[in-house]
Amino acid sequence: MPPSPQTVSHFFDSLTADYTAAIERCFPRYREMFWAIFEYLPERRFERILELGSGTGNLSVVIHEQFPDAHLTCVDCSGESLDVCRERLGKGNIEIQLADFRELEFPAETFDLITSSIAIHHLTSDEKQVLLQHCWSWLRPGGILTFADQFRGETDDLYTRHIENWKAISLAAGATEQEFAMWMEHQREHDHHDPLRDHFAWLSDAGFESIDCVWRYLLWGVVQARKPVS
């Protein structure tokens, strides 16, 4: 049974004050992954952008800086995180929406770009497929979907090794055993990791093309796909 949005939001509400520092201790290559989202975007104008799982606004702020003329819609299920996001973004062509991904509704062909950072893995496999289908519908022809997230290894052995290596680099970067255990508890209770191969199949089934993983390290990766022009 998938976690309720209230349960997931409560966890991230408790981290809001120190979220960025906490995640960088537990995942030292966070910023590198983050920038891979932008590095592989085509050089074009994006007028309307949707961010799924905005949290405290780490990605939102960079989107707004990179595309200051775009209308940015930020969605998250944590009210406290969105309060921080709103304060960081300030005034501008910004829309903040408190919602669960499973309840989102937008008109077809609304956005030029849909993006997300470490959020979609909170959905079950079936829910991911539905969301990706919705993303295809919400994008305009030629629109881009790009997201950073955690992915399961192709085998249980690879997945276990990913977790072991993750713990080693986290402790080396300054995370404590207790802190890493907190993330593992959250992962057991709320996260649903699926292999990249499955995501590629779901994206293809939804109608996307030019599907690729443009960056990968242990569990983390950045996926990009495009809605056909016609």
Could you report the per-residue pLDDT of 99-141, keeping only the tens digit for each? 998 899 999 999 999 999 999 999 999 999 999 999 999 999 9
What's the distance, CA 112 to chain centroid? 17
Specify whether the CB–CB gap between 136 and 227 falls below 8 A. Answer: yes
What is residue 35's predicted lDDT score, i.e. its pLDDT? 87
Crossing angle (nearest 10°) for helices 30-39 and 58-66: 30
**Strand order, beta sheet including 220-226:** 94-98, 71-76, 48-52, 111-117, 139-150, 220-226, 209-217
User: Is the pLDDT score of 2 beyond 70?
Assistant: no
What is residue 123's predicted lDDT score, i.e. its pLDDT? 96
Specify whether the CB–CB gap between 12 and 81 falls below 8 A. Answer: yes
User: Is the pLDDT score of 74 beyond 80?
Assistant: yes
- Highest mean pLDDT of the ranges 16-30, 49-63, 190-204: 190-204
Question: Given pLDDT bands bounded at 50, 70 and 90, which one contains residue 18?
Answer: low
Pairwise CA distance, residues 158 & 55, whole Å: 29
User: Is the pLDDT score of 175 beyond 60?
Assistant: yes
- Interval 168-188 mean pLDDT: 87
DSSP 110: -
Question: Given pLDDT bands bounded at 50, 70 and 90, which one contains residue 25?
Answer: confident
Pairwise CA distance, residues 28 & 22, whole Å: 10
**Higher-confidence residue: 51 or 17?**
51
What is residue 1's predicted lDDT score, i.e. its pLDDT? 35
CATH number at residue 159: 3.40.50.150
- Interval 76-87 mean pLDDT: 90
What is residue 14's predicted lDDT score, i.e. its pLDDT? 38
User: Is the pLDDT score of 9 beyond 80?
Assistant: no
- For 217, the domain range is 5-226
Adjacent-strand bridge partners of 76: 98
- Interval 80-106 mean pLDDT: 91
- Highest mean pLDDT of the ranges 2-6, 78-82, 223-227: 223-227
Give the chain's domain count. 1
Specify whether the CB–CB gap between 227 and 219 falls below 8 A. Answer: no
User: Which residue shows structure tokens 């499955």?
Assistant: 198
User: Is the pLDDT score of 186 beyond 90?
Assistant: no
Query: CA nearest 119: which of 35, 43, 54, 205?
Result: 54
Q: What is the DSSP string of 169-230?
A: HHHHTT--HHHHHHHHHHHHHH----BHHHHHHHHHHHT-EEEEEEEEETTEEEEEEE----
Specify whether the CB–CB gap between 144 and 112 falls below 8 A. Answer: yes
What is residue 19's predicted lDDT score, i.e. its pLDDT? 65
DSSP 57: S
Residues above pLDDT 90, as percent of the chain: 63
Adjacent-strand bridge partners of 213: 223
- How much is the mean pLDDT over the chain? 89
Quote the pTM value: 0.88
Pairwise CA distance, residues 146 & 164, whole Å: 27
